[in-house]
Amino acid sequence: MEHERGRRREAERILGEIHGGLTNEEKTELAKGISKFKPESRQLARMIEFLSLIVPGLDESTTETELEIGSLPITAQLKLYKFVVLKQELEDW
């Protein structure tokens, strides 16, 4: 069973590299990292600023918006992962 999970994770990693997207594990890490941002934090403001370039009207919304990480363009997923999980500066879109 553990061997099978290891093979599945390795296959996801390889597919992520081929397609340039995040694995399910990386998406989970990203979601957990985002959930730790404080509402008034600079990091959250910067992330919303970045996402508003991709999702029109996001920065003007007064209600909580839920985005599916997998629905974002691969480039956006990777940039967010680097910013949130790896603590690198968020590059402009």
Domain ranges of the chain: 2-84
Q: How many CB atoms lie within 10 A of CB 50?
A: 20
Q: Please state whether 90 falls in left (phi above 0), alpha (psi between -120 and 50) or beta.
A: beta
pTM passes above 0.75? no
Q: What is the pLDDT at residue 35?
A: 93
Q: What is the pLDDT at residue 40?
A: 92
Q: What is the pLDDT at residue 22?
A: 85
Which of the two residues, 13 and 71, has the higher pLDDT score?
71
Q: Over the stretch 42-54, which tens digit does the pLDDT of each residue have?
A: 999 999 888 888 8
Q: What is the pLDDT at residue 19?
A: 58
